[in-house]
Amino acid sequence: MGLINKLFGGSEEKKEEKILPWINLEHIKSLDVIAEKSKTKTQLIFKHSTRCGISRMALNQFVAQYNLDLNADLYYLDLLNFRDVSNEVGYKFQVMHQSPQLLIIKNGVAVAHASHGAINDINLEKYI
C-alpha cells in the first residue's frame, strides 16, 4: 500500500495544519471593542461565506500566507450565521459588503480592505 500511495500522491507523513489565532466575531457590540483596540493594535476582520467555494479558496490562501508573527488581532466572521454583524461591519467601517472580504482597522477606521483574490495581495506588514 505504501508504494501505491507514493505513486498516486498519497503521503504517509501528515502535513501539519496551520492554525491561526482567530477570534470569532459574533456580536455587534464587539465592533466597538475592535474600534477601540485598533487605537493601539491593528485589527483584522475576515468575512467568510461558508457556502461559497471562492470564499473557501480565499480563506485557505489567506491562512497559508498569514504570518503568525504579525502583531494584530484576527477576527473571523461567518457572515451567513451572523448577517446582522456583517451588515454592521459595513456601516461602522464605511465599507461596502463583499464576500469574502478582509478589513484592516486602525485608529477606529478601515484603512484598507479587499475582497476575493485581492485579499492575498494586501501587504499586511505595511499596516502593523
Reported as a single tens digit per residue, the pLDDT across 16-49 is: 788 999 999 999 999 999 999 999 999 999 999 9
- What is the 8-class DSSP label of residue 71? -
What are the boundaries of each domain within the chain? Answer: 18-127
From the options 1.10.10.10, 3.30.70.890, 3.40.50.720, 3.40.30.10, give the CATH code of 18-127. Answer: 3.40.30.10
Tell me the H-state helices in the chain: 2-7, 30-37, 53-65, 83-93
Residue 77 CA to residue 100 CA, distance in Å, equals 10
β-strand partners of 103: 45, 113
Residue 76 CA to residue 96 CA, distance in Å, equals 18
Per-residue cell: 102: 478582509
Instruction: Note if the pTM is more than 0.85.
Output: yes
Per-residue cell: 86: 456583517
Tens-place pLDDT, residues 46-81? 999 999 999 999 999 999 999 999 999 999 999 999
Please determine, for residue 12, whether its predicted confidence score (pLDDT) is greater than 60: no
